[in-house]
Every structure is written in C-alpha cells, then in structure tokens.
Amino acid sequence: MNARHAETSAPIIDPIASRWSPRSFATEHSLPEGALRGVFEAARWAPSASNTQPWRFIIARRGGEAFAKVEATLIGFNQQWAGRAAALVVNVAETVDAEGKTQRWAEYDLGQAVATYSLQARAEGLYAHQMGGFDPEALRTAFGLTEHQVPVSVSAIGAISEPEQLPDTLREREVAPRSRMDLDDLILLND
C-alpha cells in the first residue's frame, strides 16, 4: 500500500508521522457496527473550552442510506474518490449550549476532536481524509440539523488501497512527495 511517513525535524509519535490524507481507499474494506468505537471514544476525550464538548458526528457506512446522503453533498474532486471510503463522517459543531448561550469555541473544539479521532484512526490502522468540499445546506437538510448544528467538515475513513484506482490528476496527488512548511516559518515568536 501507499503508506508514507513524514520527514520530521524532531521525533514525533508514529500516529502523527504516519498520518496523511489518502484518496485511494480500499472498496473491499468495510467497518462493521462498533468498529469505530475507539476512534470516537478518542474524540470524546479531546480538549474543549469549559469541557463543553460541542462536537457531534454523523457516522455513515458505505452501502447505507446515510452514506448515500453524505456522498450526494460532496463537491469537486471529492465526488470522484470519497465514495470508496468505508465511512463518511459529518463533523458538526454545536454552536449554542442548552441554555441558549453561544459557544464561541465550538468549531475550534470540533477541530480538536476531529484531529484526535484522526490520530486514533491511524493508530488503529485506518486513515482519515478531512474535506471541506461539500454543500453544508444540503447536509443540514438531509439530516435535519438545526441552525445551531453547523456541519464544518466531512471525513472519509477506511483502509487505503493502491493509487492506480484513481483518475490521473488525483493519482498524481496521491503519490506526490509529502511536504510541509519549515517549522521555523510557522513560529512567529519563540522568546
């Protein structure tokens, strides 16, 4: 398979070094009920402002009605590859709490939960690819989300396969060398 490790300037744990966002998911791989329990248990323990835990997830396994609904909302290149994943997950931020107060950090906290479950997925031998290319209003309608339940991203989760299954333009991206900005370029001040 096309597993790739990050070239780092300092040692990092393997789930981070081996985490990347493939598009070549294995269609023969499936996730039975309960298979993602550890992934979302990890999300449950992500940090959040005042322990509000403003994240919610719609987990849709390939072959089900929910999966078809999520897949139908994907746009651009995502339509060409995401349907091969074993699951599509809608990552939702609860922007207002039970008392009606705005949860200012909801989307930030959701991002931490998604990052945490992505690393747990990697530790369990799975890969997650986060996407912003979807129609949020179509997702809201498809799943009856309230105005305070904001679909922020969609993640494809599954086992990877060979990149040859992808169209040429996506295959080139799949096998391109991994790159990141230099660490020193990311730090504004280190006093």
Domain spans of the chain, in order of start: 14-176
**Mean pLDDT on 31-36:** 91
For the stretch 118-167, pLDDT in tens is 999 999 999 999 999 999 999 999 999 999 999 999 999 999 999 998 88
Question: In one letter, which amino acid is 150?
Answer: V
> What DSSP character marks residue 175?
H
pLDDT range class, residue 86, cuts 50, 70, 90 = very high
CATH topology of domain 14-176: NADH Oxidase (3.40.109)
pLDDT at 82: 97
**DSSP code, position 28:** T
pLDDT, residue 177, reads 84
pLDDT of residue 68: 98
The amino acid occupying position 25 is: F
Dihedral angle over CA of 159, 160, 162, 167, nearest 10: 110
Lowest mean pLDDT among 43-47, 91-95, 184-188: 184-188
Q: Where are the alpha helices (DSSP H) in the chain?
A: 14-17, 37-44, 65-73, 78-81, 106-123, 136-143, 168-175, 183-186
d(CA 18, CA 36): 19
| pLDDT-based confidence at residue 3 (cuts at 50, 70, 90) | low
Whole-model pTM? 0.93
Give me the helices (H) in 33-83, please: 37-44, 65-73, 78-81
